[in-house]
Amino acid sequence: MNPAYIVRRFALFVLTVAVVVTVIFLLTRLAPGDPIEAKALALEAQAGNTGGDIGPIVEAYREKFQLDGPLHIQYVTYLTNLLKGDLGYSMTNYPATVVDKISAAMPWTIGIALVTTVLAMLFGSLVGALIAWRRSFVLVQATLPVLMVTAAVPFFLFGLVLQFFLGVHWKVLPTAFGVDPGFLVGWNIETVWQLTKHALLPATAVIVASTGLWGLGMRAMMVTTAGEDYMLLADAKGLKERRIFLVYAIRNVLLPQTTSFALSLASVVGGLLLVEIVFNYPGIGLLLRNAIGESDYFMIQGVTLITTFAVALALFIMDLIYPLIDPRISYSRS
Amino acid sequence: MTVGPTAQPASGATGDSTSVASGVGLATRAYGFFRYNMKITIGLFLVLIVVAFGYLGPFFVDLEKAEVGSVLPPGQAPSAENWLGTDAQGRDMLAWLIDATPDSLRVGVMAGALGVMIGASVGFIAGYYGGWIDTFLRTITDIAMAIPGLLVLIVLASLRQEGMTLELMAFLIALFSWMGAARVIRAQVLSMRERQYVEIARMSGEKGIYIVFFELMPNLMPFLLAAFVGSLIGAILAAVGLEFLGLGATNISTLGNILYWQNFYNAVIRGMWWWWGSPIVIFIILFAGLFIASIGLDEWANPRLKERS
């Protein structure tokens, strides 16, 4: 692989993370009236009632971020802490650290993100391809307007609808949580069943909505491909219908599809977080919602930093894999 | 000599006939445009339904009933009295929705317009000047696209202690919804820059500014419109996301705030389908309309996207 390509992509990855880190630093430091300190003081005042001890956090906060020092010193301290993987304590769940909470929530989000992405991609691409395929059933072709609606509406609105009908009205599936309350997760069949049952509704909400996006992208690409000369040739050679469809048409348009997915990854992640909130699903989104409710600024920033990092890393890896699987993309494209 | 006098009234007559015809012609052309671009027509129609609901609704429904505690007892299912029922705090849903719709649209239009202005400027400068400016601006666009904007917006909104206003929210959202416009406009300017009419204008000594506004801009209009609808969709999505989290302008009624309150009062679990269902219906009509219109606008701007069959 062309080293210049890798270097450029890596630079973009580092720059993306650096921009977010810096923007968040500036936002928190330049916000009027230092909300973090105000929150810490409010918690301290409250501590008498709850029995919690917030004093150490405020002290640690002042000390760690050198709040009395000039801005550039604060910035360096902040960066050093980040590089050490230290995002501070959760202000409302002391002594749990932000990293503790996020690593507990992350597997839930990543799990559901992976499963929904793969399924929506497969299903959406197939539907989109069939819609564009001139010789498929009219009924299939008629689903195009449905795709347009599902592609346009945010994930979590579907979540609400599914939650009501399947969870509340017909009571088929659980409406909340990752597993039944009180259930102990272990390596057994029962756990798998619990996880599947609870993930089914949030996952379906995401799949329904993103199937539309994949389907429309696939359809547009297939329409272009249908006019290519090699398609005409395949037809003229008398190849089987199915072979033309699967090998000549689909294979050639599947790869460009991943590009459009990479472009929308950031907004897909944002949508997924909102779905988690609807279903009280114990991932990053719920963590974020609770942190917002409690004004736990360290947690909000931690979630933002780590999610941005994860998305940027995923895009970087995709950029590296992409030229390997699609030889049409040259490494040295300027 | 004989040509002169006969030519004079003739040209006058044709002048008159064209001016009359252009009035009729405009209508015919508009009709032809909407017939040929069915997707734009359908999309626009759906969007207009929502606009009419929000802006004409106050003439038919008393918005006082959108106040908390104005219709008691709270939590009623739809009836002849309250067509869309009431929420858990005694607000009439229909009045509340009508009250909320214009502000939701306003956030989207403000943020979308600002976003497309930023995006078009970035794309324009990048495409027109090229070189290191292009590399620099394209890198910034790529970075902005890789950042989950909603999350940064959440950090921003959560840090504001004095609460959000509609205008501020629109401004912040615009900062994260310009990238699509920038990419499209840059690509178009890159290809137009090399076309002959631009070349001719340049060779005949026209200034850069003149070329930009009189040679390039008119050709970019379809793309700008398509990009505007694109960032409008993104902006309304971002606004709904923020409001659903309770980070919007909470003292104003918007559709996203209604969704926040239904979540806050567990309307879904309590079976109050009219509460969460009615804003969703409006959103579905609105998003579907905008999305179909944006596909139509894309095809109008770039006819090759249209199906050949």
pLDDT in tens, B234-256: 899 899 999 998 888 888 889 99
More confident of the two residues B237 and B197: B237
Poorest-confidence range of A182-196, B196-210, B219-233, B247-261? B196-210
The answer, for B240 touching chain A at a CB cutoff of 8 Å, is: yes
β-strand partners of A249 = none
| Confidence class for position B133, pLDDT limits 50, 70, 90 | very high
Backbone region of residue A2 per phi and psi (left: phi > 0; alpha: psi in -120 to 50; beta: other values): beta
Cα of A188 to nearest chain B Cα, Å: 30
**Alpha-carbon dihedral of residues A279, B238, B226, B207, nearest 10 degrees?**
-160
Cα of B244 to nearest chain A Cα, Å: 8
Residue B79 to residues A292, B4, B71, B75, B92, Cα–Cα distance (Å): 37, 78, 12, 12, 11
| Confidence class for position A33, pLDDT limits 50, 70, 90 | low
DSSP label at residue A163 = I
pLDDT at residue B85 above 50? yes
- For chain B, the farthest-separated pair of C-alpha atoms sits apart, in whole angstroms, at 91
Query: Which residue in the set B139, B244, B271 is minimally distant from A274, CB to CB?
Result: B244
Contact B276 A164 (CB under 8 A): yes
Residue B19 to residues B14, B16, B29, B33, B49, Cα–Cα distance (Å): 8, 5, 14, 20, 34
The pTM assigned to this predicted structure is: 0.84
pLDDT at position B13, please? 41
pLDDT at residue A58 above 60? yes
pLDDT at position B32, please? 83
pLDDT at residue A277 above 50? yes
pLDDT at position A64, please? 64
pLDDT at position B4, please? 41
Do B275 and B40 contact (CB within 8 A), yes or no? Answer: no
pLDDT at residue A261 above 80? no
* Burial classification of residue B72, based on how many CB atoms lie within 10 Å of its CB (0-12 exposed, 13-18 middle, 19 or more buried): exposed
Mean pLDDT, range B283-305, rounded to an integer: 86
Cα of A158 to nearest chain B Cα, Å: 9
The per-residue pLDDT for range B20-77, each reduced to its tens digit, is 556 778 888 888 888 888 889 999 999 999 999 999 989 988 888 888 877 777 777 8
How large a percentage of chain B has pLDDT more than 90?
32
Interface of A with B in 59-118 (CB under 8 A): none
Q: What is the DSSP string of A216-249?
A: HHHHHHHHHHHTSHHHHHHHHTT--HHHIIIIII
pLDDT at residue A35 above 70? no
Poorest-confidence range of A57-71, A147-161, A215-229, B202-216? A57-71
Q: Which residue of B has its CA nearest to A16?
A: B143
Query: Which residue in the set A15, A288, A292 is minimally distant from B143, CB to CB?
Result: A15
Interface of B with A in 112-171 (CB under 8 A): 139, 142-143, 145-152, 154-156, 158-161
Query: Which residue in the set A156, A164, A308 is minimally distant from B151, CB to CB?
Result: A308
pLDDT at position A57, please? 64
Interface of A with B in 277-306 (CB under 8 A): 277-278, 288-289, 292-293, 295, 297, 300-301, 303-304
More confident of the two residues A100 and A45: A100
The per-residue pLDDT for range B36-47, each reduced to its tens digit, is 888 899 999 999
The answer, for B305 touching chain A at a CB cutoff of 8 Å, is: yes
Q: Is B54 helix (H, G, I), strand (E, B) or coil?
A: helix
Place of tokens 């309350």: A181
Q: How far apart are CA A49 and CA A27, in angstroms?
A: 32
Mean pLDDT, range A280-285, rounded to an integer: 91
Chain B neighbors of A311, CB-CB under 8 A:
146-148
More confident of the two residues A199 and B81: A199
pLDDT at residue B228 above 80? yes
Do B295 and A148 contact (CB within 8 A), yes or no? Answer: yes
Do B248 and B173 contact (CB within 8 A), yes or no? Answer: no
Do B278 and B93 contact (CB within 8 A), yes or no? Answer: yes
Poorest-confidence range of A51-65, A177-191, A249-263, A270-284? A51-65
Q: What is the CA radius of gyration of chain B?
A: 25
Query: Which residue in the set B154, B161, B291 is minimally distant from A33, CB to CB?
Result: B161
How large a percentage of chain A has pLDDT more than 90?
16
Compute CA A65 distance to the chain's CA centroid, rounded to the nearest angstrom. Answer: 30
pLDDT at residue A94 above 80? no
| Confidence class for position B5, pLDDT limits 50, 70, 90 | very low
Other C-beta atoms closer than 10 Å to the C-beta of A145 total 11
pLDDT at position A287, please? 92
Mean pLDDT, range B156-184, rounded to an integer: 86
pLDDT at residue B11 above 50? no
The answer, for B303 touching chain A at a CB cutoff of 8 Å, is: no
Show the tokens assigned to A26: 């500036």
Q: Where are the beta strands (DSSP E) in B40-168?
A: none
Q: How far apart are CA A238 and CA B59, in angstroms?
A: 65
Do A187 and A211 contact (CB within 8 A), yes or no? Answer: no
Do A201 and A279 contact (CB within 8 A), yes or no? Answer: yes
Q: Is A185 helix (H, G, I), strand (E, B) or coil?
A: coil
The answer, for B184 touching chain A at a CB cutoff of 8 Å, is: no
Query: Which residue in the set A38, A266, A273 is minimally distant from B146, CB to CB?
Result: A266
Q: How far apart are CA B261 and CA A207, in angstroms?
A: 26
pLDDT at residue B206 above 70? yes
Angle at A240 between CA A234 and CA A241, to 5 degrees: 85
pLDDT at position A32, please? 66
Show the tokens assigned to A167: 């969870």
Angle at A50 between CA B163 and CA A53, to 5 degrees: 90
Chain B neighbors of A32, CB-CB under 8 A:
161
pLDDT at position B211, please? 75
Other C-beta atoms closer than 10 Å to the C-beta of B69 total 9
Mean pLDDT, range B134-145, rounded to an integer: 91
Q: What is the CA radius of gyration of chain A?
A: 24
pLDDT at position B20, please? 55
| Confidence class for position B2, pLDDT limits 50, 70, 90 | very low
Do A184 and A160 contact (CB within 8 A), yes or no? Answer: no
Q: How far apart are CA A113 and CA A108, in angstroms?
A: 9
Average pLDDT over chain A, rounded to an integer: 82
**Alpha-carbon dihedral of residues A180, A184, A189, A194, nearest 10 degrees?**
20
| Confidence class for position B10, pLDDT limits 50, 70, 90 | very low
Show the tokens assigned to B229: 């609808």
Quote ipTM for the complex. Answer: 0.82
Do B287 and A158 contact (CB within 8 A), yes or no? Answer: no
Poorest-confidence range of A95-104, B78-87, B261-270? B78-87
pLDDT at residue B200 above 90? no
Interface A:B, Cβ pairs < 8 A: 146
Cα of B81 to nearest chain A Cα, Å: 25
A164 closest CA partner among B278, B157, B48, B228: B278
pLDDT at position B163, please? 73
* Burial classification of residue A136, based on how many CB atoms lie within 10 Å of its CB (0-12 exposed, 13-18 middle, 19 or more buried): middle
